[in-house]
Amino acid sequence: MAIIRDLGRREYETVWRAMSHYTDSRDADSPDEIWCVEHDPVFTQGQAGKAEHLLNTGDIPVVQVDRGGQVTYHGPGQLVVYPLLDLRRTKIGVRDLVTALENATVEMLASYGIEAAPRADAPGVYLTEGPRAGNKIASIGLRVRRGCSFHGIAINIDMDLAPFLRINPCGYAGMQMVQMAELIAPVPSWSEVAEVFVGALMRALSLDTAEWHPVDETIFARARAEQEQETTNG
């Protein structure tokens, strides 16, 4: 069984620290969790990130993080999903998890009449039909530590895409981004898309049950306190 949590809108670094703490402190009996969140505007630079892909970040903060991949943007109107899974217990590999995230996105988008697919040469999900074919609608970046996954996938629903022009998304110059709001009307709510996506992800991972639980604020309070302490000492 997986526990699903709707975190609402939260600042990126606190959530990153919280999922790191959860990953480091969990044991063989800890439940798998899937966190759905909407972030305040932020650029995140993965372990493979290069400074030349940050073109003009302006007033949007840049956070260097420990996931795979290069630079991306998170902001309001985007669904970000973090699968915190014990990969050994679920008996899936990292590539399997990437495939599951991609397939779940394709299934969710298809339910709204949007045709999309992954690409063999670059993780993520891209439109396959219409004048925007080839545009990217979802980005993936993962990390595995102690056999457990964290970080995840970001799906563009109804957001300001302009900040993507300040970077080379995922390290690709000229990569065109797209969102659901440009493709369908009316635009489904963030909560609806989250629910549809999580259901598709459960099927893609062959997980039988999932329960939506309230947010456990303890781990986020700890993350905020740590962040504030580092700022004070900095």
- The low-confidence residues of the chain, meaning pLDDT below 50, are none
> Residue 176 gets which letter from DSSP?
P
Q: What is the pLDDT of residue 1?
A: 84
Stated pTM of the model: 0.95
Round to whole Å and give the CA distance between 52 and 75.
Answer: 22
pLDDT of residue 175: 87
Enclosing domain of residue 159: 2-233
- The domain total for the chain is 1
d(CA 46, CA 231): 22
Distance CA 115, CA 1 (A): 30
pLDDT at position 234, please? Answer: 64
Q: Which residues are tagged catalytic? A: 170
Q: Which amino acid is at 184?
A: I
Is the Cβ–Cβ distance between 179 and 161 less than 8 Å?
yes
Residue 229 sits in a domain of what CATH number? 3.30.930.10
